[in-house]
Copies of this chain bind each other. A is one copy, B any other.
Amino acid sequence: MRYPASILALLDELERLPGIGPKSAQRIAYWLLTSEQADPQRLSDAIVHAKETIHFCPQCFDFAEGELCEVCANPRRDSTQLCVVAEPRDATAIERTGEYHGLYHVLHGVISPLDGIGPQQLKVAELMSRLGDTSISEVIIATNPNVEGETTATYLARMIKPLQIKVTRIASGLPVGGDLEFADEVTLGRAMEARREL
């Protein structure tokens, strides 16, 4: 006896998720199939609905449901400031501080030669063409304060400075080697405030 086919198929799909190994997959499958709290249909619907409705904002490459994302579609945002982040969740973390009112640009990753990720794999060309078109006077680089994040920041600063645009980096106030996403609001807000020119 092994598991029935439909459970094996579910385990296969769960194990493909990032960070989910065989043990977690079994635990999740068992919970989905047996717990009174579980609602497999609602989970299934949420997955399909998100995939169907979400695309990337053509301007900043953050997640969007409408044509543009909420930030790009908001005329009251300060269009002279552009904050560059690695992933959508980093923009969400900065929004939570309430300290920033400009626009964003999502790179969808950071430069990481060991993983074969260079500027060509990121939304860097799109960033540069955005800087050519608009009235942006400051680019704030808010990648994580770790090796790849710093490398990416240095690279972008070197690319952007010739355009006569001020380039700043969020302050370390964040623990070095840490993860921007779960910094507390006060720390992250202070880091935004104390940004320094590169």
Contacts and interface: CB of A to CB of B under 8 A. Distances in A.
Interface of A: 1-7, 9-10, 12-14, 16-20, 23-24, 26-34, 37-51, 53-54, 62-65, 69-71, 87-89, 91-92, 95, 108, 181-182
Contacts of A19: 24, 27-28
How many copies of the polypeptide does the oligomer hold? 2
A43 B13 contact: yes
A62 B90 CA distance: 44
Given A7-B50, A12-B46, A50-B9, A92 B2 contact: yes
A27 B32 contact: no
A65 B28 contact: no
B70 A4 contact: yes
Contacts of A2: 92, 95
Given A50-B9, A50-B10, A181-B26, A16 B37 contact: yes
Contacts of A88: 3, 30
B95 A1 contact: yes
28 contacts: A1-B69, A1-B70, A1-B92, A3-B63, A4-B70, A6-B49, A7-B50, A7-B63, A9-B50, A12-B46, A13-B39, A13-B47, A16-B39, A16-B43, A17-B43, A18-B27, A18-B28, A19-B24, A20-B28, A23-B181, A26-B181, A29-B50, A30-B88, A33-B51, A34-B108, A40-B50, A41-B48, A41-B51
Nearest to A65: B4
